Amino acid sequence: MKILIVEDNKDNLKLFKIIVESGGHAAILARDGEEAVEAAKREIPDVILMDIQMPKMDGIEAAKILKSEQSTAKIPIIALTAYAMIEEREKLGGEWFDGYISKPAGVKDILNVIDEMAQSLRLATKRQK
């Protein structure tokens, strides 16, 4: 699958890219919300992994925009967030996200969520047929 990774921390971005590629997926990278919106519209990824706290445009704002545009509305967005923030997901704009991964995130955390998304996408495609 094609995975868009959005993360302003360079080391995290590099790490997430390695993890995503180790699962046999293609990684597209963005470093803030603005880049994420641009990249998502251009590439139409299968899944987006979205950091919340970023400069320029944060992850919630970017998710809101992507979910309200026709071309990107159906792409699942997984929030990458610190544990404490997961407990506050409703306040965070829980409605804009399809899942959560708590940071620091390991290989399994990330690949499991991508697999889950792949399965639900396959089911949705089957139902349409």
When the beta carbons of 32 and 98 are compared against Mn ion, the nearer one is: 32
User: Least Å distance between CB 46 and Mn ion?
Assistant: 23
Interface ranges with Mn ion (CB under 5 A): 8, 51, 53-54
Query: Which is closer to Mn ion, CB of 54 or CB of 75?
Result: 54
Per DSSP, the residues of the chain read: -EEEEE-S-HHHHHHHHHHHHHTT-EEEEESSHHHHHHHHHHH--SEEEEESS-SSS-HHHHHHHHHHSTTTTTS-EEEEEEHHHHTTHHHHHGGG-SEEEEES--HHHHHHHHHHHHHHHHHHHHHH-
Residue among 54 and 117 whose Cβ is closer to Mn ion: 54
Distance of closest approach, residue 62 Cβ to Mn ion, in angstroms = 12
